Amino acid sequence: MRIFQFKQESGKQITKFDSNFVMSRITQTDKAAHIGCMHLAEGGVIGYHQAVVPQLLLIVSGEGWVRGEANEYIKVHCGEAVLWDKDEWHETKTEAGLMAIVIESEELDTSLLMPLEVIV
C-alpha cells in the first residue's frame, strides 16, 4: 500500500489559454481503466478483499481509515490517494463518511502523484 497526495499544493499552475487554475495530475494509462465514485455514509466500509487489478483510491471528501495486508490502519483525508497492487488485500472504512474516486487498471502510472507516505 502506498499513499500519495493530489492536494492543490502538489499541483501545477496552468495559465495556457488564459486559464488560471491548479492541476494535480493523477495517472496515465494506455490500457483500459474502470473509474467509479464510491459514497460511504457514516460507519461505511469497503470490506477486506484482494485487488483484482491495481487500484487507486482518491479521497475527494471526508476522511477514513485504510489498511493493506499489515492489518495496521492509516488515516486518510481529502486530497490523499491510496494505491493497492494487484492481489493485495485491503480495506477502507470511515466513521464520519467519505466520497472517493476509484481508478482500476492493469496499468496505473503513479509517477505524476506526489508521495505522502510509503507503507511497506
Could you say which residues of the chain have pLDDT below 70? 115-120
CA dihedral 109, 82, 11, 36 (to 10 degrees): 80
Residues 7-21: tens digit of each pLDDT: 888 788 989 898 888
pTM of the model: 0.85
Q: Are 29 and 67 in contact (CB under 8 A)?
A: no
List the chain domain ranges: 11-54+61-80+90-105
Q: What's at 34, amino acid-wise?
A: H
